[in-house]
Structure 1
Amino acid sequence: MLKHVLQGACSASLLLCYGPLAWADDSTSENTTTDEVERIVVTATKRNTELQDSDASVTVLGITAIDQARLRDFSRIDDLVPNVQFAEFGQRGSIFITVRGVESNPFIVNRAAVYIDGIPFRELSNSVLNQIESVEVLRGPQATLYGANTESGLILVTTKPPTETTEGNIRITGTHFPSGNSIETDGALSGSLLPGTLTGSIAFTLAREDAYLKNKATSTGETGEFTEHYLQGRLRWTPNDRLTVNALAYWLDLDAPGIFGQQYVPLNLSLYNKLYADRFNDGRLADNWTYFEDAPKYFTEQQFVAGLSATYQAAYGAWDLATSHRQVEKDHKGLDFDLTATPAVAGREANDETFNNVEARFSSLLSDSFDYMVGASYYQATNDNIKATFIGPGDLNAYIAAPVQRKKSEDFGLFGSANFYASTKLRITAGLRYDQAKRSTVQQAGTLDLGFGSVVVYPEAQLAKTYDILLPRLAFHYKLTDNLAVHASAARGYIPGGFNLVAMQQGVADDDIISYDSETLWSRELGFKWRSADRKMRLSGAVFYINSDNWQEIQIATDKQGRPVSSDFIGSDASIRSKGLELEGHWQVSSAFSLDAHIGYVDAKYRDLQVDETLNVRHQPIQFVPEYDGGLALRYQWFNGIYVRTEVGFTGETSLRARGDIRQAATTKLGLQLGYVGNKFALRLFGENLTNERKASGLAIENLAFGNDGLFYAPLDAPRVIGLELETWF
């Protein structure tokens, strides 16, 4: 670990540059005052709280930090925050978030949730982060206020509100990487519609991007390309000084011919080429950013989101109401079971998902002795899932579908939180949530052919179950001085249970196997926040201990050769333990030069996990959790608007699956920017992953058709990217 830290520090120090990563707000502009440096507000607690007064471990990225770090998609957030990692299935595949060693399994659900303008995203796609005002990353359970699926943490994204004055921007970005290029145009227009009462804004993105991984054996002639269209509209109505109403809607369309959304490639290229180049790939050799698969591929995604929120400030407190609707359609064609150019078995998965959310809450007026908040929420989700395959050669229309599987979720919660001010220095916060989760599933009778004599039988099924839980949180915040505060907290989080339809497919009748229990988790932490008297330096850190005694984990039943004989199976009889520490800071050295850094260390192990009849992986590292992670960024801007910024990120060795038999080695990544910021336009030349690291970014699997061939296959992170960005505003 020390070796990589020193490498990163030395590399970054070669250049004078800065870009706030761990602590970020509008403090980074050249003309920023001391008051502006101090104004960092946490909103995820559902009460606006100064960062120094927060009793949670939270990183706030403001609008300046987002721009200077070029935060354009969710997969970049983990470069900016300690003890947070993203596992991404392909260039635009699903994202699963790991926080403090609590990993999110890609086949279950995220254990950390994302909220965009109050709209929940429990299963996140790497869609556009367009016109973002701030990003808040909370580490530790947030279930008391947000309910299920926030047991490891929460990411809260706020987009820019409409403005009274007419203003806008246009940005064009072009990039080049080893396998192709991309071009993206995005922009926004904001202004008053009814002076003094109604404002509105519209934002858009148009993008075309080649695939990072090129398919050299495509059966459709498409080697891989993404085309994205995004349109967002916002309205803000303020009829008086008490009532504010916000409305948001966006539409996203992603079209990707020649691409399967969850693309796996061999990690050991020399062994792969030795086994399959002559035998199946016509003598062609795969390299770092190419692969050979014949399965006809096509990935499409459409999203429509609408949300409405209102705040009424009464004389005795504030009433808040928020409601949202989200519709998502995804179709992944082209899972190549044999992962070569031979036509063996091809797979497809399609999902049609609907999400609805309503929350109402009341917050009392702030007080020096006691204040509180109470609320209720309702969350409903429906997912229609279709799996399909075909054997041998075929085209995009050859997939034969199994019956639709429908899953439905309904969550109802009552929550409350209160602050007790024992003295001017000590605040005690207590919170409690009652959550009721209903889970149901319907399966129609049918079959799914996995090839090589393996056929999954789908019996008709209709199952339902209700889960109830109490989710407490207790926190202490003590202000030692005006510039130094400590906090301690204990909180519980959970994920509701569910059903194993695969058990029914295999003829199991035991209810304890057909259904699995809710997962619960306890987290304790002790942390501090410090700032210098001149407000030019900030430092925060925490130590934590986490355990779960009914951990949900997924397994895939295989034959003796390692080939799958069924779909996934989830159990909740495992347990984990995670402990570690994190530190992050910001130093405004001068008005021109700043430095940001963060580092996290995690010791996360399985306490009990039986992966097959003979192997228990207790004491093995939890999958997707690196031993350490960190980042260092510096930026220097001259008085004429020219700036240079460099960043280094380092990640420790990471297990790529629960068995612990395949690991990603420690990596160090470098980034560099050179640019100019003027009154009306900005120009930026940038490079990301300049070391061109070939890094696995998700779950490693064995060959789905040939079984144990000595290889592991995984999705990859982005290669070296060089780009040019031009932006103008008015």
Structure 2
Amino acid sequence: MKHAVLAAALAAALPSLQASPAHAQDAPTIARATELDGIVVTGSKRDTPYLRSDISVTVLDRDALQQANVTEFRDLDKLAPNVKFNVMGQLSDMFISIRGIESNPFLVNRASVYIDGIPFRELSNAVLNHVESVEILRGPQGTLYGANSESGLVLVRTRAPSATTEGEVNLRATHFGNGHGTSVDGFLGGALGSSNRLFGSLAFMASDEDSHLKNLTPFDGIPGKVKETYLQGKLRWEPTDTLSINAIAYHLGTRAPGMFEYEYLPLDVGLYNQRYADLYNGGRHAGDFTYINDAPKRTSKTENVAGASAQWQLARGTVDAAVSYREQRDTSGGYDFDMTNTPALAGRIHDAQRNWNGELRFSSLDDQPLTWIGGVSTYRVNKDSVLGTRVGPPPRGLESYVLAPLQGSDGQDYSVFGTLSYTPPALPKLTASLGLRYEQARRSTRQSAGELDLGPGGLVFYRDAELSHTFTATLPRVSLRYDASDTLSFYAASAKGYIPGGFNLAAAQNDVVNDKVLRYESEMMWSHEAGFKMNVLGGRGHIGGAVFQIASNNWQEIQLATDANGRPISSDYVGSDASIRSRGVELEGVLQPLRGLTLTANAGYVDAQYRKLLVGDNQSLAGNKVKLTPQYTAYLAARYQHRSGVFARVESAFNGRMALDERNRAFQPAVAIIGVQLGYETGPWTTRVYVDNLTNKRRINGLIFDNLAFGRDGNVYGPVDRPRIIGAEVGYRF
């Protein structure tokens, strides 16, 4: 259980992870007209021209990301239709909703992120430091990537070393309503030695930023601040013309005094102030981006990653191998259950996770009518979690939290997968593909006896427990692509995705022995889509679109046991006796109608509803909108660069009305977020000033809760996205 009593947090599922290829490739830009028709998609684990791919995919290269001022993962969603990245705060993990398939912020991501072939299921909103390319794939990718890719996939490749010595340094400063921020990042790479066979690179980043949300009554007067450091090293060795070996290692550290990982503000600030300003907050009034808490707060995160891959070119195909190790530690104290300046109840979390991942696959030559990929993969994870609470005034600061017993979970996954594609010589414009993956996932969980004090909610008792089960799944994918011409193709695909089941330790705490309560089953989902891709304006643009329909079985949904006033009385639990249906349409494109002018646009519409979901005393939520899924997304950006080097960009990202919980008690209204840039490029120098969220819109960007200490107070509370940010940066490249 992750945050069961800390804002209804819960057991994170432990999905299977497989490595994607980590070798470097030269990604073409989508910002230069002469190369628009040369975009390569690597998500199918075989380099495929954009026009010949049977996947709904957005491909972004380094230039496209820099021009859109994408510096954090949360900024990526504006560039892809029907994609929404939800974050519960400046420090929180990120949860991805694609095509109406939401990722519950306290359960599991139904979309995965791979960085240089290393899988991330719980991804912090770290800086995108020197990224070479990003691919956002919509629709199930389980055939090649296994569990927890049922809604889609995000593939990130960071900048790789080459034979040419190159580097850059960037300085950035930001200002917003509650403070300032500064950062510096850089890259240096090139050949090592005179053999021209060994290459290396170093990338770094350091930042210091005030909290976007200001606490008006911080414990001991400690203001919120985020300090981040990142260091990455890469090696590439080519001992022969047919063999290449890559290695990567990095360290990411985050220190945030005065901040908890998740912060929740009232949706109705006026109602909150009317109820609590004089009663508990000493006459102080909260605002759109300010809040009032008294809990001792501090967050510390550390992440260490190491991976290696090899590619061997044979006469009949290519062998790829990849292994990786990732460890992450996250300690955060200061969740204020009462959300006021009174010392009623506060919480603390600690998670430690270790992941091992490996894959071996063979890809046939791609110049034959019949091509195929086959491979095996394995994944292991160990996770430990400890919750803690503080009831009443703290005699000491962060040391005043009383810890609950240790809870742990383990996962072991083994997979066999393959894909066949056939283009009949008699029908050279038609290609049929069939993919299949068999996966075995063993899940186990353990708990030690003890208790956790919830103050007004009473005591939660922990009992000794040790549970395990093996889940299996067979995941097919079929597709058909028709190349109507050299500039137009159509495709249709059907695919199955899944998430392994798991266990409810909350049931063990209450002596419930029914297997259907203790263990929830694997989630299964079928997705059907049809789409097209087209190059236009003689190679100076491309357009793609799709329609889709998705249906789930055994949909995994979290429940929280509360009293009549909405206060938690035990740990949360997960049920899988639910289902959803989602359908919609999406369109995206990039055009260069004039020299120096680039237009980027996308639009998506989704109708996602619960078909079956029972809560409470047999109350049905069938027909409700799926939470954290905007009804539509859209984006329009225009960038013009004069031959003198002066450039300007204006953009607007649109998000439709979005339900903030499964009961549909509150919605984030439709909103448009405007950004502007003005800059100058000359030789190796680049300077830019910009404004994000120009109109300073307040948006709720995650799941809402009641007041967990006082119960239902007429308000609900949710995480607030970033305010208006004004920034300036200067970069030097060599």
In structure 2, C-alpha distance between the alignment counterparts of 1:299 and 1:435, rounded to whole Å: 36
CA shift for structure 1 position 222: 1.3
Q: Does 1:28 align with 2:31?
A: yes
**Aligned counterpart, 2:343:** 343
**Aligned counterpart, 1:156:** 155
CA shift for structure 1 position 167: 1.3
**Aligned counterpart, 1:263:** 263
CA shift for structure 1 position 27: 4.1
Q: Is the 8 A contact 1:220 1:297 kept in 2?
A: no
**Aligned counterpart, 1:9:** none
Which residue of 390, 398, 420 maps to 1:396? 398
1:652-681 residue CA offsets vs partner (Å, 9 max, x unmatched):
000000000111000011000000111111
CA shift for structure 1 position 26: 2.0
**Aligned counterpart, 2:554:** 550
Q: Does 1:540 align with 2:544?
A: yes
1:150-202 residue CA offsets vs partner (Å, 9 max, x unmatched):
00000000011102121111100000011110000000111111331100000
Q: Is the 8 A contact 1:25 1:65 kept in 2?
A: no
**Aligned counterpart, 2:428:** 424
In structure 2, C-alpha distance between the alignment counterparts of 1:127 and 1:724, rounded to whole Å: 20
- After TM superposition, the score normalised by the length of structure 1 is 0.95
Secondary structure in structure 2 of the residue aligned to 1:271: helix
**Aligned counterpart, 1:118:** 117
Q: Is the 8 A contact 2:245 2:309 kept in 1?
A: yes
**Aligned counterpart, 2:215:** 215
CA shift for structure 1 position 128: 2.1
CA shift for structure 1 position 79: 1.0
In structure 2, C-alpha distance between the alignment counterparts of 1:88 and 1:97, rounded to whole Å: 9
Structure 2 residue identity aligned to 1:277: A
CA shift for structure 1 position 25: 5.1
CA shift for structure 1 position 84: 0.4
**Aligned counterpart, 1:274:** 274
**Aligned counterpart, 1:191:** 190
**Aligned counterpart, 1:247:** 247
1:535-591 residue CA offsets vs partner (Å, 9 max, x unmatched):
123111000000002100001100000101112110000000000000001111122
In structure 2, C-alpha distance between the alignment counterparts of 1:624 and 1:172, rounded to whole Å: 34
In structure 2, the gaps of 5 or more residues are: 1-26
Distance 1:533 1:681, change over 3 A: closer
Q: Is the 8 A contact 1:151 1:521 kept in 2?
A: yes
Q: Is the 8 A contact 2:457 2:709 kept in 1?
A: no
In structure 1, C-alpha distance between the alignment counterparts of 2:246 and 2:716, rounded to whole Å: 48
**Aligned counterpart, 2:170:** 171
Q: Does 1:44 align with 2:43?
A: yes
Structure 1 residue identity aligned to 2:64: A
In structure 1, C-alpha distance between the alignment counterparts of 2:637 and 2:457, rounded to whole Å: 54
**Aligned counterpart, 1:511:** 515
Aligned-residue sequence identity (percent) comes to: 48
CA shift for structure 1 position 627: 0.7
CA shift for structure 1 position 452: 1.1
Comparing 366-375 with 204-213, greater Cα deviation is found at 366-375
Pairs within 5 Å for 1:580-729:
580-729=584-733
In structure 1, C-alpha distance between the alignment counterparts of 2:140 and 2:560, rounded to whole Å: 29
Which residue of 483, 486, 497 maps to 1:482? 486
1:88-132 residue CA offsets vs partner (Å, 9 max, x unmatched):
010121100000000000111100000000000011111121110
Secondary structure in structure 2 of the residue aligned to 1:194: coil
Pairs within 5 Å for 1:59-78:
59-78=58-77
1:277-304 residue CA offsets vs partner (Å, 9 max, x unmatched):
0000000000111111011000010000
Secondary structure in structure 2 of the residue aligned to 1:220: helix
1:414-462 residue CA offsets vs partner (Å, 9 max, x unmatched):
0000111122100001000000000001100000111115211100000
Secondary structure in structure 2 of the residue aligned to 1:223: coil
**Aligned counterpart, 1:324:** 324
In structure 1, C-alpha distance between the alignment counterparts of 2:30 and 2:91, rounded to whole Å: 32
In structure 2, C-alpha distance between the alignment counterparts of 1:220 and 1:328, rounded to whole Å: 29
1:206-238 residue CA offsets vs partner (Å, 9 max, x unmatched):
100000111111113212000011000000001
Q: Is the 8 A contact 2:36 2:541 kept in 1?
A: no
Distance 1:368 1:713, change over 3 A: same
1:54-77 residue CA offsets vs partner (Å, 9 max, x unmatched):
000000001110110111111001
In structure 1, C-alpha distance between the alignment counterparts of 2:28 and 2:455, rounded to whole Å: 54
In structure 2, C-alpha distance between the alignment counterparts of 1:371 and 1:183, rounded to whole Å: 50
Which residue of 403, 406, 409 maps to 2:408? 406
Secondary structure in structure 2 of the residue aligned to 1:38: helix
In structure 2, C-alpha distance between the alignment counterparts of 1:63 and 1:579, rounded to whole Å: 32
RMSD across aligned positions (CA): 1.0
**Aligned counterpart, 1:470:** 474
Structure 1 residue identity aligned to 2:92: G
Q: Is the 8 A contact 1:250 1:304 kept in 2?
A: yes
Structure 1 residue identity aligned to 2:351: N
Which residue of 558, 573, 577 maps to 2:577? 573
Q: Does 1:500 align with 2:504?
A: yes
Structure 2 residue identity aligned to 1:669: I
1:628-650 residue CA offsets vs partner (Å, 9 max, x unmatched):
01000001111100000000011
In structure 1, the gaps of 5 or more residues are: 1-23
- After TM superposition, the score normalised by the length of structure 2 is 0.95
Q: Is the 8 A contact 1:25 1:64 kept in 2?
A: no
CA shift for structure 1 position 359: 0.4
1:682-724 residue CA offsets vs partner (Å, 9 max, x unmatched):
0000010001110011100000011110111011111100000
1:457-481 residue CA offsets vs partner (Å, 9 max, x unmatched):
1000000000011000000000111
**Aligned counterpart, 1:96:** 95
Comparing 451-460 with 712-721, greater Cα deviation is found at 451-460
Structure 1 residue identity aligned to 2:704: A
Q: Is the 8 A contact 1:328 1:353 kept in 2?
A: yes
Secondary structure in structure 2 of the residue aligned to 1:360: strand
In structure 2, C-alpha distance between the alignment counterparts of 1:597 and 1:412, rounded to whole Å: 40
In structure 2, C-alpha distance between the alignment counterparts of 1:28 and 1:51, rounded to whole Å: 15
Q: Is the 8 A contact 1:25 1:60 kept in 2?
A: no
| Number of residue-to-residue matches in the alignment | 703
Q: Is the 8 A contact 2:297 2:398 kept in 1?
A: yes
In structure 2, C-alpha distance between the alignment counterparts of 1:27 and 1:41, rounded to whole Å: 10
**Aligned counterpart, 2:15:** none
Structure 1 residue identity aligned to 2:209: E
Secondary structure in structure 1 of the residue aligned to 2:619: coil
Q: Is the 8 A contact 1:561 1:707 kept in 2?
A: yes
CA shift for structure 1 position 594: 1.5
